[in-house]
Amino acid sequence: MTITQRIVTVALCGLATVLTRALPFLIFTPGRPTPKYVQYLGKALPAAIFGMLVVYCLKDVSFLTGDHGLPQMIAIAVTVGLHLWKKQMLLSVAGGTAAYMLLVQLVF
Amino acid sequence: MKEKGAAIWALRTAFPHTLPILAGFTVLGMSYGVYARASGFSFWVPVCMAVVIFGGSLEFVAVSMLLGAFAPVQTFLMALMIQARHLFYGISMLERYKGMGWKKVYLVYALCDETFSINCSVQVPEGVDKGWFMFFVSLLNQCYWICGTAIGALLGGVIPFSTEGLDFAMTALFVVIFLDRWLQEKKHWTALIGVLGAAGCLLAFGAEDFMIPTMACILVLLTAFRRPIERGMEQE
């Protein structure tokens, strides 16, 4: 990417963010009910989007060749295990990342 | 003069409410800063993104988008999808942010997950100006994020050990957010639609081109199965 393309990419991310934050204030006047479909998407989208993002993070893992994605799978298991155990987001993220770093640097 | 006094008083009452965010954003911001440096970017890239975008998940994703090929349409659509939940923060804050004058512009701009979680639920103490209070909650939170990012971006250049594998922080972050969502709901239709829709599109379209089909697929499935999904949500 050229420097201009990078600036455009970051600007587009910023613009999208501002749009999602400002749009309700521009569209809906207080006191008027929000459309049912919009309310529904508000509840249904987050879980789907974060599921999608987990897959996005793993998109370049090759499960059939090389290490078969084992470091990723083990590190995700560590992250999930820590989170089910302590429910501390920062601990789970730090623990899972540390496990992954150890695995790719020392084991695989 | 009276306005200034009210502002300072609001800052002092708002600060304690933001302490948990101070801890969280410092650590998360630092890992983001280190991650961006480890991905080969200079100090200013993560710091500028922290100011311009100010949305943790998207900033992590933006780093990996900057490493790929230039794809403005996909970038914009993906950013919209990742940030779509903010639409619903805005809807919840319509009443609370009413009549805030010029402060409203910043309040809306800085309405991130954590700021929303405080401002939507906090009881502003008697005698404290509501507008200034919520303004400073937003401002303090953004300062924590920028400072954490800057510290991480500084350290990222001098860390004495190998940072190979640090990019997993993004995966772990999304796994944890996803898991929290999963545990909150009894029926997992929406979560499964996200994971399976993305996995299916990845197999069908390949790693470079699967995100736009995935987003379309998610919207179509959520719309098609609205009735059973809503019924499942009502049982919770």
Crossing angle between the packed helical segments B56-67 and A36-57, to the nearest 10 degrees = 50
Mutate to test the interface with A, among B53, B176, B223, B226 (most CBs of A within 10 A): B176
Q: Is A50 on the interface with B (CB under 8 A)?
A: yes
Task: Determine what percent of chain A falls in helix, strand and coil, rounding each to the nearest 5.
Answer: 75, 0, 25
Q: What is the pLDDT of residues B189-231, one digit of tens each?
A: 999 999 999 999 999 999 878 878 888 899 899 999 999 998 8
Asked if the Cβ–Cβ distance from A19 to B81 is below 8 Å, we say: no
| Nearest chain B alpha carbon to A2 | B70
Residue A14 and residue B52: Cβ atoms within 8 Å?
yes
Most B CBs within 10 Å, among A54, A59, A64, A82, to test the B interface:
A54
Surface-to-core class of residue B62, CB atoms within 10 Å of its CB (0-12 exposed, 13-18 middle, 19+ buried)? buried
Cα separation, B5 vs B82, whole angstroms: 39
Which residues contact residue B103 at a Cβ distance below 8 angstroms, ignoring those fewer than 6 apart? B131, B132, B134, B135
CB B186 within 8 Å of CB B235? yes
Give A2-52 as a DSSP string: -HHHHHHHHHHHHHHHHHHHHHHHHHPPTTSPPPHHHHHHHHHHHHHHHHH
> What is the Cα–Cα distance from A34 to B17, expressed in whole angstroms?
30
Contact between B202 and B217 (Cβ < 8 Å): no
Contact B216/A at CB under 8 A: no
CB A7 within 8 A of CB B93: no
CA distance B1 to chain A (A): 31
The Cα-based distances of A69 to A4, B39, B57, B194 in angstroms read 35, 21, 23, 20
- For chain A, the C-alpha Rg in angstroms (whole number) is 20
Angle at alpha carbon of residue B153, lines to A49 and B159, rounded to 5° = 115
* B88: chain A residues, CB-CB within 8 Å: 24, 39, 42-43
- Looking at every residue in chain B, the average pLDDT score rounds to 88
Counting Cα atoms < 13 Å in the Cβ hemisphere of B168 gives 29
| Confidence band for B159, pLDDT divided at 50, 70 and 90 | confident
pLDDT at A73 over 70: yes
B172-194 residue pLDDT tens: 888 988 898 898 888 899 999 99
What is the residue-wise DSSP string for B66-108?
HHS---HHHHHHHHHHHHTHHHHHHHHHTTTTTT-TTHHHHHH
| Domain edges within chain B | 2-161
| A72 contacts on B by Cβ (under 8 Å) | 168, 171
The predicted structure's pLDDT at residue B207: 86
Which residues fall within 8 angstroms of residue B181, CB to CB, at 6 or more apart? A46, A47, A50, B191
Cα separation of B65 and B54, whole Å? 16
Nearest to B198 among A55, A75, A94 (CB): A55
Quote the pLDDT of residue B94.
81
Confidence class for position A30, pLDDT limits 50, 70, 90: low
**Cβ–Cβ gap B191/A17 under 8 Å:** no
Per-residue pLDDT averaged across A55-63, rounded? 87
Q: How confident is the model at residue B116 (pLDDT cuts 50, 70, 90)?
A: confident
Is A17 near chain B, with CB under 8 Å? yes
Contact A18 B164 (CB under 8 A): no
Q: Are A101 and B165 an interchain contact pair (Cβ–Cβ within 8 Å)?
A: yes
Q: How many CB atoms lie within 10 A of CB B100?
A: 17
- Take residue A79 and report the two structure tokens written for it: 């992250």
Which residue in B94, B193, B226 is closest to A40 by CB distance? B226
Contact check, Cβ <8 Å, A47/B233:
no
CB-nearest to B111 from A19, A21, A58 is A21
Q: Secondary structure of chain B: what % helix, strand, coil (to 5)?
A: 75, 0, 25
Inter-chain contact A10–B53, Cβ cutoff 8 Å?
A: yes
Contact B165 A6 (CB under 8 A): no
| CB of A35 less than 8 A from some CB of B | no
Where are the alpha helices (H) located in B19-55, listed in sequence order?
Answer: 19-38, 44-52
Amino acid at site A4: T
Any B CB within 8 A of A85 CB = no
Could you read off the pLDDT of B65-107 as tens digits, one per residue? Answer: 999 899 999 999 989 988 887 887 887 788 788 888 899 999 9
The residue of chain A nearest to residue B205, with distances taken between CA atoms, is A59
The token pair at A25 is: 């204030």
What's the CA gap between B78 and B211, in Å, rounded?
A: 7
